[in-house]
Structure 1
Amino acid sequence: MTGAENRTVRVAGRHRESDGVLSLELVAADGGRLPDWTPGAHVDLVLPGGHTRQYSLCGDRWDAHRYRVAVLREPAGRGGSAWVHDRLAVGDEIGLGGPRNNFPLVPAPRYLFVAGGIGITPILPMITTADLVGADWALLYGGRTRASMAFTRELAVHGDRVRIVPQDEEGLLDLPGFLGRPTPGTRVYGCGPAPLLAALAETAAGWPSHTVRTERFVPRATGPVRDTSFAVHLARRGTEVTVPPGRSVLDAVADAGVDVLSSCRQGTCGTCETTVLAGEPDHRDSVLDDDERAAADCMLVCVSRSVGPRLVLDL
């Protein structure tokens, strides 16, 4: 059984974690083992109507038969979170894809974790792992109100390593005070809403490359570099397709009979990552880091486009 396979899971538990946040316990419908995963991994929940949503795994990675995810009710969303909150019941079965990890925790002697709102979910198993290996770590966790912040009781066992900052009580997170100056061996992991991640990037602008890593739950608000059509050569097929403005590379190659595995179609899950053999991608995803973008040897074809008139893909 591989993590890339789709499977059916059953809802074994539902728990209210805070105002607006519901956690789900998921087990394999056939009672079997679920794929192993590492901190930072996410899964796809395939909901009725073919809708797919991505959620970080936030439970015990050593429990081979149970996953935990947490779902924030998003009134302005596309309906998936409302369906989970209002209609998904214990005993129901849904589809599951993954796990996949675009936000891996790398070994380090010291970690600084920054979380905002539901962004706490991928950080929870990272903290567990940091504790397990004896690493030094601290967490700065912000939210709109204390009542809206999930898993605070679970985090309380860590004492003063965790700082909880409700905005209505204490204001915005003091990122400069928390991060301090770069120190050798320190890694920074952040997850949360776009304004928080922008502030984190600005605060950590002087940190060495590779030491700060963030994960987004929503796509970057970026426009294309090129506003005209471009060609995509499919190296394995030996054919070429045209990608017009307003159409994705993913859809254009599908029209040519090449199906690329995809999920979110927003550049946030990494499922459709494709090797680039020639040309310069216009990266519009929220998965690849700056070094991966600069290498220009892969792209997420659901949202990314081309800087120049032609790309060659390993398809």
Structure 2
Amino acid sequence: MFLVQISEFLLLGLSDEPELQPLIFGLFLSMYLIAVFGNLLIILVVNPNLHTPMYFFLANLSLIDICFTSTTVPKMLWNIWTQSQVITHAACITQIYFLILFAVLDVFLLSVMAYDRFVAICHPLHYTVTMNPRLCGWLVLVSWIMCILNSLLQSLMTLRLSFCAHLHIPHFFCELNQMLQLACSDTFLNNLVMYLAAVFLAGGPFIGILYSYSKIVSSICGISSAQGKYKAFSTCASHLSVVSLFYCTMLGVYLSSAATHSSRSSATASVMYTVVTPMLNPFIYSLRNKDMQRALKAFLGKETLTWPIVIRLKKWL
């Protein structure tokens, strides 16, 4: 089989129809700006006003969401604006690296936040001791290190692949699985590493989330008063909504692509977890959280921040 020295690929995007390109450009630009400014506002509000572990993790999640959506959307918008589908080989590998990095980091942060809610509801008397600043800092640091190593490994393994003359990627970003399908060389090791990473780095945290919430639900059911149950559930409702949205959209991508066997269908479904989920997260946390609502008002100068915070931690690593 004839192999060529690859210098660039073609991203086919979401549609081949020229008349749809302005609509797609405007829609994605709007969603991107909402996602970036919404998550940036969360970071700016949390840092000076809210100093509990939950909000520390939320600020990190917002930062990751900004980076996650910025990995794919700006290149897509640039391609539509310039009417070019070209992406260089180096840029494609770089995009894969950061896409894997921030996607898995999202999973890790959601699992860490689930553990935080588990300790807060199931072991409230030990919360300040267990979720101390040092542990919170280490949880975030270890998550970054593991995700960086995983992303680096998979990106370096992609570099060793050889490609044939067919260089069209039916997606709006360089997706690892699509790259492996285009390769002419043996991809057994790449697929093995990819699936092992999916099982341990995505499935493992998901099992942890399920375990945490099973214990949370059990503890809430043990509360006698209806008001107590409502207060306990409200402390984790926002996070549970984000977890459900993220995992349901990810699951929807793979189920839809498996059912239709269409790469273009998979690309369309991928919009949900790469763009829509980061855009909706700030709304979910701000609309369902009274502390966030008050902090937003204080940040915007409409109200002085005078309400008590139950747990205030002064130092963060």
Do the structures match in fold with TM over 0.5?
Answer: no
Higher strand proportion (structure 1 or 2): 1
| TM-score relative to the length of structure 2 | 0.22
| Higher alpha-carbon Rg | 2
Q: What TM-score do you get using the length of structure 1 for normalisation?
A: 0.22
